[in-house]
């Protein structure tokens, strides 16, 4: 059997049986007893640098591999961050750094983590390499020697020499004997530490909901966090699960996301955007709809523009990075209840059944649906009168969104309009004037 084992495949029972049958782990002090398989306890051994260490297996909850941790501002230097393990947020400690030992400190590598549990406190201990599970008799354990150096001997339960190899057994109970102190030293618990709590809240939301929280939407997420903290009476580091994180991200979404727009939102849009476009465009309105999804927003814009600017031809390019959504958009079908009352069903839809409608072919002929992630908006060989890109900052990093805005600046005509998400915040957009409006985020090309 190999001297090392994969942490993800660690099976204590099977390993013990094989070790006992092979008789490999019998120390010099127990040769006379080697026929007996009755041991006093077992240890999990691991390496820190070039030295072997071990802890009592009874303190081990599980062994995992991980490479990404959520960082905590102002944490102790040996705290690598925290990890969400099936809904439980646990601190991750670099054990070598904690004891000032030499160890591999490379970033972004997969780490082997021993998750220990002491009473109600779970902690992840990062080690260099998991070695073996070893059964021991009490007689195998010798008291620690001051000559060992490295780790202070008060943290050592004992030393065992097995097959000419020395194992330093750590006293995990003593190291983390003050449970509350250990918890406070790794996770900020003070309710006044709003910045740390908020940062952790954002990191979890980003990771679990697959979104980006950045300078363009952080203000809105601050309000979302404050509401969340009040609703949950938050007094310690927030613990989000996937559903909660998705819900937090959904709170950022603009009105009528994923459905056709209805009043009064369409009235606000008509007043602030379409009336201005009517003075700029006469024969044709060129529209770019970024993040169109499966077509709800694009078809709403088309119907609204056609109704409000009579005689003008609407030409629209609708883009999204979700290939399945963009592929389904040309065959847009709805139930009668999903079509707002301001839209004429007969004008824009074909009735399929008693309660179902499909968008007319002459409408889809005016809208070109394209798979595009919007990071290279300059690639379009046309200019636009209207660009609607709501909530795009949530799907892009700050740098990518900044590049997108710069690209829009070069692809929108003078006097053209850019509409962003209801909750997006931009301090300044070069070449644009912000239109003061209580209901929409609008910029006009100057």
258 is a domain residue? no
> Minimal CA–CA distance to 166: which of 28, 35, 323?
28
Residue 264 preceded by cis peptide, ω within 30: yes
Residues 143 and 30 in one domain: yes
Residues 31 and 157 in one domain: yes
CA distances, 206 to each of 69, 238, 239, 244, 353 (Å)? 13, 14, 13, 12, 42
Residues 17 and 148 in one domain: yes
Residues 159 and 30 in one domain: yes
- Selected residue with higher pLDDT from 309 and 179: 309
Q: Band of the pLDDT at 29, cuts 50, 70, 90?
A: very low
Eight-state DSSP code of residue 171: -
Residues 306 and 361 in one domain: yes
Q: Which helix (H) or strand (E) holds 186?
A: helix 179-186
Helix axes 194-209, 242-252, angle to 10 degrees: 100
Residues 16 and 165 in one domain: yes
Could you please report the per-residue DSSP string of 102-146? -----TT--EEEEEEEETTEEEEEEESEEEEEEEE-GGG-B---G
Residue 181 pLDDT: 47
Model confidence pLDDT, tens digit, residues 126-165: 998 898 899 998 888 888 765 555 566 778 888 998 888 8
CATH value at residue 342: 3.40.50.150
Report the pLDDT averaged over residues 207-236: 89
> CA–CA separation, 317 vs 286, rounded Å?
8
Q: What is the mean pLDDT of the chain?
A: 83
First to last CA, the chain: 74
1 is a domain residue? no
Residue 148 pLDDT: 56
- Beta carbons of 170 and 55 less than 8 angstroms apart: yes
Residue 196 structural domain: 192-252
Residues 350 and 425 in one domain: yes
Residues 150 and 39 in one domain: yes
- Selected residue with higher pLDDT from 181 and 404: 404
Task: Kindly tell me if the per-residue pLDDT of 26 is higher than 70.
Answer: no
Residue 145 pLDDT: 67
Residues 48 and 119 in one domain: yes
Task: Kindly tell me if the per-residue pLDDT of 276 is higher than 50.
Answer: yes
Q: Band of the pLDDT at 269, cuts 50, 70, 90?
A: very high
Q: Both tokens of residue 188?
A: 């900020």
Domain termination site, one of 129, 161, 181: 181
Domain total in the chain: 3
What residues contact residue 427 under an 8 Å CB cut-off, 6+ apart?
A: none
Domain termination site, one of 252, 281, 303: 252
Q: Band of the pLDDT at 28, cuts 50, 70, 90?
A: very low
Residue 16 pLDDT: 43
Model confidence pLDDT, tens digit, residues 310-331: 888 999 999 998 888 899 999 9
> CA–CA separation, 70 vs 89, rounded Å?
10
Report the pLDDT averaged over residues 219-226: 92
- Angle at CA of residue 310, ends 309 and 312, nearest 5°: 75
| Lowest-confidence segment of 47-61, 340-354, 370-384 by average pLDDT | 370-384
Position of tokens 């959504």?
Answer: 325
212 is a domain residue? yes
Residues 129 and 220 in one domain: no
Task: Kindly tell me if the per-residue pLDDT of 416 is higher than 50.
Answer: yes
2 is a domain residue? no
CATH value at residue 54: 2.40.50.180
Model confidence pLDDT, tens digit, residues 370-394: 998 787 888 888 899 999 999 999 9
| Lowest-confidence segment of 79-93, 253-267, 282-296 by average pLDDT | 79-93
pTM: predicted TM-score of the whole model, two decimal places: 0.61
Residue 103 pLDDT: 65
Task: Kindly tell me if the per-residue pLDDT of 9 is higher than 60.
Answer: no
């Amino acid at each position: 059997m190999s001297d090392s084992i994969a942490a993800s495949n660690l099976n204590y029972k099977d390993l013990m049986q094989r070790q006992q049958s092979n008789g490999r782990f019998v120390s010099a002090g127990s040769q006379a007893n080697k026929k007996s398989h009755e041991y006093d306890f077992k240890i999990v051994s691991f390496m820190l640098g070039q030295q072997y260490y071990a802890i009592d297996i009874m303190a081990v909850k599980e062994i995992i591999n991980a490479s990404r941790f959520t960082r905590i501002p102002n944490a102790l230097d040996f705290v690598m961050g925290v990890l969400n393990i099936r809904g439980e947020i646990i601190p991750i400690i670099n054990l070598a750094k904690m004891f000032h030992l030499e160890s591999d400190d490379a970033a972004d590598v997969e780490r082997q983590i021993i998750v220990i549990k002491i009473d109600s406190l779970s902690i992840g201990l990062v080690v260099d390499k998991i070695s073996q599970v070893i059964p021991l008799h009490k007689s195998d354990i010798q008291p620690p020697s001051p000559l060992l150096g490295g780790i202070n001997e008060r943290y050592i339960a004992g030393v065992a020499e097995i097959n000419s190899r020395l194992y330093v057994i750590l006293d995990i109970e003593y190291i983390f004997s003050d449970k509350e102190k250990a918890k406070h030293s790794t996770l900020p618990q003070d309710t006044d530490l709003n910045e740390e709590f908020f940062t952790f809240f954002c990191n979890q939301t980003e990771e679990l909901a697959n979104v980006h929280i950045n300078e363009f939407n952080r203000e809105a997420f601050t309000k979302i966090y404050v509401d969340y903290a009040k609703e949950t009476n938050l007094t310690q580091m927030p613990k989000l699960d996937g559903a909660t994180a998705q819900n937090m991200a959904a709170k950022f979404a603009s009105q009528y996301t994923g459905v056709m727009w209805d009043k009064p939102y369409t009235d606000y849009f008509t007043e602030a955007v379409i009336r201005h476009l009517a003075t700029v465009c006469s024969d044709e309105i060129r529209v770019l709809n970024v993040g169109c999804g499966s077509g709800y927003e694009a078809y709403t814009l088309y119907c609204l523009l056609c109704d409000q600017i009579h005689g003008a031809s609407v030409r629209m390019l609708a883009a999204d990075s979700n290939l399945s959504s963009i592929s389904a958009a040309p065959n847009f079908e709805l139930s009668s209840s999903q079509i707002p009352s301001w839209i004429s069903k007969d004008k824009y839809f074909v009735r399929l059944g008693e309660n179902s409608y499909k968008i007319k072919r002459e409408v889809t002929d005016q809208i070109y649906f394209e798979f595009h992630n919007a990071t290279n908006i300059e690639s379009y060989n046309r200019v636009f009168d209207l660009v609607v890109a709501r909530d795009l900052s949530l799907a892009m990093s700050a740098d990518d969104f900044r590049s997108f805005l710069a690209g829009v600046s070069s692809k929108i005509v003078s006097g053209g309009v850019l509409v962003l998400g209801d909750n997006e915040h931009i301090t300044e957009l070069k070449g644009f004037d912000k239109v003061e409006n209580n209901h929409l985020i609008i910029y006009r090309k100057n």
